[in-house]
Amino acid sequence: MKFETKAIHLGHEVDPLTGAIAAPLHLSTTFEREADGSYPRGHIYSRLSNPNRDALERSLAGLENGEGAIAFASGLAAITNVFQALLPGDHVIASQDLYHGTTHILQDIFEPWGLEVSFIDVTDTSQLEGAIQPNTKMIFLETPSNPLLKITDIAAVADIAHKAGALCVCDNTWATPLLQRPLDLGADIVVHSTTKYFGGHSDVLGGATISKVKDAFFDRMRMLQQIGGAVPAPFDCWLVLRGIQTLSCRMKNQSESAFAIAKFLQKHPHVEKVYYPGLVDHPGHDIVLKQMSQFGGMLSFQIKGNKEEALAFTGRLKIIRRATSLGGVESLIEHRASIEGPNSKTPDNLLRFSVGLENLDDLLTDLDTALTHK
């Protein structure tokens, strides 16, 4: 099946009891045993499994071409699970330009816990090879990166990881499997904040890990999910699964609009710099052409001026909302440095823009009016 067909049908079987086309919602926290103590219908307790969560996990695994998926209550819970499945004393190489929440998890939770972490520019393969240690167990990357949209060659990083006996893990939240499939490029595990493009409507929190194979590491992640209990509620799974059905339509539209907006901003006299991998002068453009089918619905740009001028610009916008998050039907913009805190390396005049489904001309007019003070 093609992606669009998978998105509609995986995890959306007709209800055998009622014939319902839309998936029923299973709110029960506990499930009946047989008289002999067995659970032939597959469920014991909702921390361990739930029909709605099972359906979502089947869909996510199929979309990423993985053997298994594990759903969580948030994207950060999913990322925490990946690192928690390692052992104290293991070494992780992580990209310098990661979502700041991932960096906080590594620095504030797992380094004190005993994980060794090296933050490097993983786009530089020679630097990456030089960072490998005997105890390196994982290379964690994010491409396109957040918020500077750096592009990493997934296949090259996966090759380096495997030669070192390490796992290659890729955060694929920004691209989604519609535009990029890291497992097909050699990665071992993909992580997602399903809050974003999968949910698609800014109304549900969730995360997931998808593994290329169901091996011992996958089993350990599953055990940590079930025992740790950072699982999504049945209705959250239901909402994400419903959002997946329209992912293809939304993402294609958002990618087309983002490309047009990036080209518009690149020529605007009040814009200093635009970060978008679809632009031919983007340093990762050639790699993107190899590993992505479109360039995505996210971009960042620097206003000509300082932090105050960047914030003032967002205050003049009428359609585009000032809010954290991305991937929803509405366009959102935010000043990243103030979100990331005092240690942020993001330029003070940079704004991250999640392009929604509004009319493109309306978005361009909103941007132009706010930039030129009309």
Of the residues 53, 196, 242, 250, only one is catalytic, namely 196
pTM here? 0.96
Q: Does residue 215 carry a catalytic annotation?
A: no
Of 175, 165, 170, 167, nearest to 154 by C-alpha is: 170
3-state helix, strand, coil in the chain (%, to 5): 40, 15, 45
Least confident of 73-77, 149-153, 166-170, 341-345: 341-345
Of the residues 47, 58, 304, 316, only one is catalytic, namely 47
Of the residues 90, 97, 171, 236, only one is catalytic, namely 171
The token pair at 299 is 């971009």
* 303 shares a domain with 233: no
Share of the chain above pLDDT 70, in %: 100
Segment 24-47 shows an average pLDDT of 93
- Distance from C-alpha of 60 to C-alpha of 69, rounded to nearest angstrom: 6
pLDDT band at 113 (very low <50, low <70, confident <90, very high): very high
Give every CB contact of residue 232 below 8 A, 6+ residues apart in sequence.
Answer: 53, 56, 71, 72, 73, 205, 206, 240
CA 314 to chain CA centroid, Å, is: 25
Report pLDDT for 338: 86
Strands of the sheet with 207-211, listed across from one edge: 68-72, 207-211, 189-192, 167-171, 136-142, 91-95, 116-120
* 297 shares a domain with 163: no
- Residue 184, CB-side half-sphere exposure with 13 Å CA sphere: 14
Q: End of a domain among 221, 244, 267?
A: 244
Angle (deg, nearest 10), helices 234-244 and 51-63: 30
* CATH code of the domain in which 182 resides: 3.40.640.10
Total number of domains in the chain: 2
Give every CB contact of residue 261 below 8 A, 6+ residues apart in sequence.
Answer: 299, 353, 355, 360, 363, 364, 367
* 317 shares a domain with 225: no
Q: End of a domain among 244, 272, 289?
A: 244
Q: Does residue 214 carry a catalytic annotation?
A: no
Q: Does residue 99 carry a catalytic annotation?
A: yes
Strands of the sheet with 321-322, listed across from one edge: 271-275, 298-303, 350-354, 332-335, 321-322
* 127 shares a domain with 13: yes
Segment 184-203 shows an average pLDDT of 98
Query: 356-371: per-residue pLDDT in tens?
Result: 999 999 999 999 999 9
* 89 shares a domain with 161: yes
* 257 shares a domain with 240: no
Range of the domain at 329: 248-372
The token pair at 26 is 């299973």
Is 186 a residue whose pLDDT tops 70? yes
Query: 209-223: per-residue pLDDT in tens?
Result: 999 999 999 999 999
Of the residues 99, 197, 275, 276, only one is catalytic, namely 99
Q: End of a domain among 189, 220, 244?
A: 244
Bridge partner list, 271: 303
* 256 shares a domain with 204: no
> What is the Cα Rg of the chain in Å?
21
The three-state secondary structure class of 164 is: coil
- Distance from C-alpha of 94 to C-alpha of 169, rounded to nearest angstrom: 10
The three-state secondary structure class of 243 is: helix
Is 17 a residue whose pLDDT tops 90? no
Report pLDDT for 263: 98
CB count, 10 Å around CB of 44?
13
Is 374 a residue whose pLDDT tops 60? no
* 79 shares a domain with 62: yes
Q: Does residue 2 carry a catalytic annotation?
A: no
- In 166-260 the beta strands, taken as DSSP E runs, fall at 167-171, 189-192, 207-211
* 127 shares a domain with 175: yes
Tell me what the pLDDT averaged over the chain comes to.
96
* 112 shares a domain with 130: yes
* 133 shares a domain with 43: yes
The angle subtended at Cα 101 by Cα 197 and Cα 312, nearest 5°, is: 75
- Distance from C-alpha of 234 to C-alpha of 10, rounded to nearest angstrom: 17
* 253 shares a domain with 240: no
Report pLDDT for 246: 98
- Distance from C-alpha of 340 to C-alpha of 343, rounded to nearest angstrom: 7
pLDDT band at 167 (very low <50, low <70, confident <90, very high): very high
Of 341, 348, 347, nearest to 311 by C-alpha is: 348
* CATH code of the domain in which 353 resides: 3.90.1150.10
